[in-house]
Amino acid sequence: MILEASADIYIDNNAIVNLRYPKVKHDIESRLLPNITDGSLKNTPDTNVVVKGLEKAHVDCQKLEEFFNANVGKVKCCKVSRTIEAEGDKFVSHSNGYGFVNFESKELLDRAIDECNGRILEGSKISIERYNKELRKEPKFNNLYVRGFDEHFTDDDLKANFAKFGELGSVTIMRNEDGSSKKFGFV
């Protein structure tokens, strides 16, 4: 079996119990999850929290899960947000200082917020809040990739095609070094 780094790997329950957070390719933590196909994950917003203020050097998925299992109750899964960067010919994973926890029930989520918000985990005070993807930050850029036009199509042609949909921040056709169109652009 080949395991890919930073992938959510789906495998049997024995492996999930015994190898919950394996370090695979490039020694980067991954996680094994059950393959849930019964539709029970549709209401996960009611059971997900964001945990901020994680001690970057010491808190991984396993420590986060152990903390909540011991202090709150059954965790379905958790994830510490990480950035993977190339350093020469190898890759290194760095914690972003926050993570996500999915509990078995809404009651456990409420208990986690009530009893663990502001507690110390590995020397760092954590904050816990309900996860709401609707409250995510607005993207800084709203680029639309457009392709399939001929080499004579201009920036003005592209602008004319999209102006009817609203105010345009920028319109650019990508060009080769000789100035010829690459036949794609961004709006």
Q: Where are the domains of the chain?
A: 8-131, 145-186
Given a cut of 50, is residue 8 above it in pLDDT? Answer: no
Task: Give phi and psi for 100, each to the nearest 5.
Answer: -130, 140
Give CA separation, 46 vs 33, 49, 72, 112, in Å: 19, 9, 16, 13
Mean pLDDT of all residues belonging to the chain: 79
Residue 38, pLDDT score:
67
CA–chain centroid gap for 14, Å, is 26
pLDDT in tens, 125-174: 999 999 876 655 555 556 788 888 888 888 898 888 888 888 888 888 88
Position 35: which residue type? Answer: N
Position 137: which residue type? Answer: K
- Which residues of 22-138 form beta strands (DSSP E)? 23-24, 28-29, 31-33, 48-52, 75-87, 90-103, 120-121, 124-125, 127-130
C-alpha Rg value of the chain to the nearest Å: 23
Given a cut of 80, is residue 49 above it in pLDDT? Answer: yes
Question: Angle, nearest 10°, between helix axes 106-116 and 61-71?
Answer: 90
pLDDT in tens, 87-97: 787 778 888 99
Given a cut of 70, is residue 181 above it in pLDDT? Answer: yes
Whether the full predicted model's pTM is greater than 0.75, yes or no, is no
Residue 168, pLDDT score:
83
- DSSP-derived letter for residue 76 is E
Residue 10, pLDDT score:
46
pLDDT in tens, 103-113: 888 999 999 99
What homologous superfamily is domain 8-131 in, according to CATH?
Answer: RRM (RNA recognition motif) domain (3.30.70.330)
Given a cut of 50, is residue 48 above it in pLDDT? Answer: yes
